[in-house]
């Protein structure tokens, strides 16, 4: 393991969007994580993934030299950096020359720092001239982001800090299992109840989080939209709406009210399986509290109607006056480490830095000015993540991929693996040899969290500084060094610095005046203040005295007239409903000891011991019908593919539903089964529900 620069270095966990604070301490072969109790988000608490993160620094589990696929053998073999970079530049340049710039794709990751995300978006649009860029954060909270924009005019995961949650009177947590996905955040729900508040959990499974709830609602997968509409119907019928708030701070209530009234409780009970008494009790708990929140996660969002579903939950908050007030509001629990910042600064197909829209002439002019190019030279919006992956080998001939593993994480994964294999050229920059990197023509070994400095933006909108704590192995370079070198080889010797603080200074200027304004934020401020909440603009004199914005919307919403907008939505079925051939519903999720596609966590012995592989969770009634036995293999088959895992029989899941975690490749790859049906607004795939048949044995 590389030498440590300082005895103790404050930094942040490389995993989820909590971005828990930690200290790294030690020298030579003994780097260890030490609690950092002064950091407000986690107050010293860490999950097993955070505690074991230094294991990823070992040369035993990570890449330490470039690899190039040799035509003579067809295998990836070691190469010099000069050869590897030249091969990448040649491959991308050849595709541009023969097929045009949009034949080159760029796919990023929600774990990249703000600096990397910014530089990757700039590289795609300025150096390659391609519109074909998106990132795996599209699979994270794009539906919530779209609903945020429609209702509030601004998208930030949480419009308030996590510390506000225990001070609320009631929280409805929809489709989130914090006990497994963000364990240090569970304390906020515990403190909520200790303070006299109530917790309602909406989840088709009785998870470890649901066990903490005062009320657990277990709807049929794919029916969260109907559930939210039913709750709003009850609130209207029982006279629990806040007419003064609706009049003074919102618009569009008439249409949204009419849409909700078409979803009466008995109808919602038939659709969701949640009983009318439970609907009424949830409304009572939510509306009797002095303040209340709705927090959603991937459960209601990863659907072909995810944007409308989130809009329905926002409508419930608005109609009852639970938004734009202290300790109240709607928030989204972003999943990936920098899922928030990654989309704010240019990885997303339709966005420019500062959360500007790519088709906005003023936005194009501002960013082009910072980049030293003409607005006309910037390409327009491109394909969303799944659509880009689906186009590989067709319109898109070559791909540069950084920090993502779509062979495991994409829906209809076997098909996407086939598309990746059909590329003329694939270059991957990653820390480890992931399942996707193993298919590449060139693999570039890059630095990771503890080996580099850079900023991330957590789920609260708090911009944080990860500080370099150890030296990377000699054969490893940073993603910024990679992009700088490639830009030079492709004729852009200036404009792509490798120093992260220099990149951040340019990001500040590019974001200035945009919705996600970072212009008043500096590395020094972040370190001194435990992070700075955006928007944080410079003042007119160039001083950086703006305090940041921990709480949004308390005075006005970010719409032109300052009013939040109701969106009239109605329930519709999932893209794929059960039938005689595929009679069971499948839903997917995570386990506490693995993360995302598992490319990193599956290389940590302690985590593998705790969660060695996939499983199929099912109810005893379904198990009896199938003749399934605990621990014996079950095959889950959809119209797209199959996945296999041992049976795990529990009463904590609906009898019409099975659950599989999505962290593993091979025969346990559940994303071989999932449905790529897209939300028409967010372009989010329908990961969370599809029709399957379940059978004993591996076949």
**In whole angstroms, what is the distance from residue 518 CA to residue 463 CA?**
9
Q: Which tokens go with 176?
A: 């989130």
Q: For residue 654, is it within any domain?
A: yes
Domain CATH code at residue 421: 3.40.50.740
**In whole angstroms, what is the distance from residue 378 CA to residue 124 CA?**
10
**In whole angstroms, what is the distance from residue 204 CA to residue 206 CA?**
7
pTM of the shown model:
0.96
Q: How far is Cα of residue 502 from the mean position of the Cα atoms in its chain?
A: 26
Pairing of strands 351-352, 356-357: antiparallel
> Closest Cα to residue 477, out of 426, 436, 427, 443?
443
Domain final residue, candidates 307, 332, 357: 332
> Closest Cα to residue 68, out of 440, 414, 362?
440
Q: Are residues 153 and 209 in the same domain?
A: yes
Distances (CA, A) of 420 to 123, 379, 433: 21, 24, 16
Q: Are residues 111 and 165 in the same domain?
A: no
Task: Please name the residues in contact with 335: beta carbons below 8 A apart, sequence gap of 6 or more.
Answer: 16, 17, 110, 140, 141, 181, 297, 298
Domain final residue, candidates 314, 332, 350: 332
DSSP bridge pairs for 12: 21
Q: Which tokens go with 369?
A: 């000015």
pLDDT tens profile 595-643:
999 999 999 999 999 999 999 999 999 999 999 999 999 999 999 999 9
Within the chain, which residues score under 50 in pLDDT? 1-2, 4, 28
Domain that holds residue 347: 67-138+339-436+476-512
**For the residues of 461-494, what is the DSSP string, one character each?**
SEEEEEPP-BPPPTT-B-HHHHHHHHHHHTT--S
Q: For residue 45, is it within any domain?
A: no
Q: Are residues 281 and 299 in the same domain?
A: yes
Domain CATH code at residue 159: 3.40.228.10
**For the residues of 184-215, what is the DSSP string, one character each?**
GGHHHHHHHHHTT-EEEEE-SB--TTGGG-SE
- Tracing tokens 């509030």 back to the chain, one arrives at 152
Task: Please name the residues in contact with 60: beta carbons below 8 A apart, sequence gap of 6 or more.
Answer: none
pLDDT of residue 2: 44
Task: Please name the residues in contact with 277: beta carbons below 8 A apart, sequence gap of 6 or more.
Answer: none
> Closest Cα to residue 449, out of 27, 119, 108, 50?
50
DSSP bridge pairs for 402: 429
- Residue 656: helix, strand or coil by DSSP? coil
Domain CATH code at residue 588: 2.40.40.20
> Closest Cα to residue 485, out of 496, 475, 470, 474?
496
Q: Which tokens go with 542?
A: 């160039």
Whether cis (ω within 30° of 0) applies to the bond prior to 551 is no
Q: What is the 3-state secondary structure (H, E, C) of 285-328?
A: HHHHCCCEEEEECHHHHCCCCHHHHHHHHHHHHHHCCCCCCCCC
Q: For residue 132, is it within any domain?
A: yes
Q: Are residues 132 and 211 in the same domain?
A: no
Q: Are residues 182 and 110 in the same domain?
A: no
- Residue 442: helix, strand or coil by DSSP? strand
Own/partner long-range contacts of 215-218 (Cβ < 8 Å, ≥24 apart): 215/278, 215/281, 215/282, 215/285, 217/274, 217/278, 217/282, 218/273, 218/274, 218/654
Number of H-type helices and E-type strands within the chain: 23, 30
DSSP bridge pairs for 77: 68
Q: Are residues 359 and 506 in the same domain?
A: yes
Domain final residue, candidates 280, 302, 332: 332
Q: For residue 261, is it within any domain?
A: yes
**In whole angstroms, what is the distance from residue 699 CA to residue 691 CA?**
18
- Tracing tokens 């309602």 back to the chain, one arrives at 200
Q: Are residues 284 and 429 in the same domain?
A: no
The radius of gyration computed from the CA coordinates of the chain, to the nearest angstrom, equals 24
> Closest Cα to residue 190, out of 160, 163, 161, 166?
166
The HSE-up count of residue 236 (CA atoms within 13 Å, CB side) is 23
Q: Are residues 288 and 173 in the same domain?
A: yes
For residues 4 and 27, is the Cβ–Cβ distance under 8 A?
Answer: yes
* 535: DSSP letter: P
Distances (CA, A) of 603 to 338, 402, 597: 21, 19, 12
pLDDT tens profile 37-61:
999 999 999 999 999 999 999 888 9
Q: For residue 456, is it within any domain?
A: no
Q: Are residues 324 and 354 in the same domain?
A: no
Tallying the residues shown for the chain, one arrives at 699
Q: What are phi and psi of 107, to 5 degrees?
A: -130, 120
For residues 347 and 135, is the Cβ–Cβ distance under 8 A?
Answer: yes
pLDDT of residue 1: 40
DSSP bridge pairs for 643: 636
Handedness of CA 453, 456, 460, 463 (dihedral sign): positive
Task: Please name the residues in contact with 589: beta carbons below 8 A apart, sequence gap of 6 or more.
Answer: 177, 180, 181, 298, 299, 659, 661, 662
- Tracing tokens 């005075």 back to the chain, one arrives at 555
Q: For residue 460, is it within any domain?
A: no
**In whole angstroms, what is the distance from residue 503 CA to residue 526 CA?**
16
For residues 342 and 108, is the Cβ–Cβ distance under 8 A?
Answer: yes
Q: Are residues 208 and 290 in the same domain?
A: yes
Q: Are residues 195 and 249 in the same domain?
A: yes
Q: Are residues 394 and 507 in the same domain?
A: yes
**In whole angstroms, what is the distance from residue 341 CA to residue 337 CA?**
9
**In whole angstroms, what is the distance from residue 70 CA to residue 226 CA?**
55
pLDDT of residue 458: 97
**Number of domains within the chain:** 3
Go through 439-448 and write b for each residue having 16 or more CB atoms within 10 A of its CB, e for each that does not. Answer: bbbbbbbbbb
For residues 234 and 285, is the Cβ–Cβ distance under 8 A?
Answer: no
DSSP bridge pairs for 205: 653
**In whole angstroms, what is the distance from residue 641 CA to residue 690 CA?**
12
> Closest Cα to residue 693, out of 652, 643, 629, 631?
643
For residues 100 and 132, is the Cβ–Cβ distance under 8 A?
Answer: no
The HSE-up count of residue 515 (CA atoms within 13 Å, CB side) is 26
Stated as kind and residue range, the H or E segment containing 413 is: helix 413-421
For residues 486 and 498, is the Cβ–Cβ distance under 8 A?
Answer: no
pLDDT of residue 31: 85
Q: For residue 55, is it within any domain?
A: no
Q: For residue 674, is it within any domain?
A: yes
């Amino acid at each position: 393991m590389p030498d440590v620069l300082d005895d103790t270095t404050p930094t942040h966990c490389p995993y989820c969007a909590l971005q828990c604070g930690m200290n790294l301490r030690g020298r030579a072969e003994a780097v260890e994580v030490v609690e950092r109790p002064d950091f407000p988000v986690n107050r010293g608490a860490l999950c097993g993934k955070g505690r074991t993160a230094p294991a990823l620094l070992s040369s035993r589990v990570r890449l330490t030299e470039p690899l190039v696929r040799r035509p003579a053998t067809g295998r990836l073999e070691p190469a010099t950096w000069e050869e590897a970079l030249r091969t990448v530049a040649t491959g991308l340049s050849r595709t541009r020359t023969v097929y045009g710039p949009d034949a080159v794709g760029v796919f990023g990751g929600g774990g990249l720092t703000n600096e990397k995300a910014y530089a990757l978006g700039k590289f795609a649009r300025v150096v390659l001239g391609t519109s074909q860029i998106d990132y795996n954060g599209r699979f994270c909270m794009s539906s919530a982001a779209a609903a945020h924009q429609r209702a509030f005019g601004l998208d930030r995961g949480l419009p308030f800090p996590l510390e506000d949650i225990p001070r609320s009177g009631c929280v409805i947590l929809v489709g989130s299992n914090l006990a497994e996905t963000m364990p240090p955040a569970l304390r906020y729900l515990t403190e909520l109840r200790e303070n006299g508040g109530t917790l309602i959990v909406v989840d088709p499974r009785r998870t470890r989080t649901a066990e903490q709830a005062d009320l657990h609602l277990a709807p049929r997968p794919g029916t969260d939209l109907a559930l939210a509409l039913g709750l709003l119907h009850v609130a209207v019928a029982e006279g629990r709406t806040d007419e003064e708030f609706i009049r003074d701070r919102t618009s569009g209530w008439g249409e949204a009210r009419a849409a909700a009234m078409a979803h009466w409780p008995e109808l919602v009970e038939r659709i969701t399986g949640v009983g009318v008494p439970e609907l009424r009790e949830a409304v009572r708990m939510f509306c009797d509290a002095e303040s209340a929140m709705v927090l959603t996660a991937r459960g209601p969002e990863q659907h072909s109607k995810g944007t409308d579903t989130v809009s329905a939950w926002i409508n419930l908050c608005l109609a009852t006056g639970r938004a734009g007030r202290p300790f109240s509001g709607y928030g989204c629990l972003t999943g990936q480490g920098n899922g928030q910042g990654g989309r704010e600064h240019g990885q997303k197909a339709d966005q420019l830095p500062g959360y500007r829209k790519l088709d906005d002439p003023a936005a194009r002019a501002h960013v082009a000015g910072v980049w030293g190019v003409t607005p006309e030279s910037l390409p327009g919006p491109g394909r969303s993540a799944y659509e880009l992956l689906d186009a590989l080998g067709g319109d898109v001939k070559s791909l540069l991929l950084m920090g993502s593993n779509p062979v495991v994480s994409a829906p209809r994964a076997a098909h996407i693996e086939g598309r990746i294999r059909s590329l003329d050229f694939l270059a991957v920059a990653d820390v480890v040899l992931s399942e996707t990197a193993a298919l590449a023509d060139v693999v570039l070994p890059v630095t990771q969290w503890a080996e580099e400095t850079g900023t991330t933006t957590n789920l609260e909108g708090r911009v944080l500084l990860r500080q370099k704590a150890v030296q990377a192995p000699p054969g490893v370079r940073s993603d910024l060094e990679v992009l700088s070198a490639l830009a030079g080889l492709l004729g852009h010797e200036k404009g792509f610095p490798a120093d992260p603080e220099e990149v951040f200074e340019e990001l500040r200027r590019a974001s200035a005046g945009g919705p996600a304004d970072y212009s008043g934020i500096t590395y020094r401020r972040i370190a001194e203040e435990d992070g700075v909440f955006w928007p944080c603009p410079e003042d007119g004199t160039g001083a950086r005295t703006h305090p940041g914005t921990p709480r949004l919307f308390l005075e006005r919403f970010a719409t032109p007239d300052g009013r939040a907008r109701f969106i009239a939505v109605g329930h519709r079925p999932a893209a794929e409903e059960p039938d005689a051939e595929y009679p069971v519903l499948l839903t997917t999720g995570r386990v506490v000891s693995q993360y995302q596609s598992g490319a990193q966590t599956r290389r940590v012995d302690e985590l593998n011991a705790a969660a060695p592989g996939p499983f199929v969770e099912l109810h005893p009634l379904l198990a009896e019908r199938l003749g399934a036995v605990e621990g014996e293999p079950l095959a889950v088959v959809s119209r797209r593919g199959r996945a296999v895992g041992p049976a795990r029989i529990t009463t904590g899941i609906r009898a019409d539903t099975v659950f599989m975690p999505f962290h593993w490749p091979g025969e346990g790859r559940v994303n071989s089964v999932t449905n790529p049906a897209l939300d028409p607004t967010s372009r989010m795939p329908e990961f969370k529900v599809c029709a399957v048949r379940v059978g004993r044995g591996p076949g």
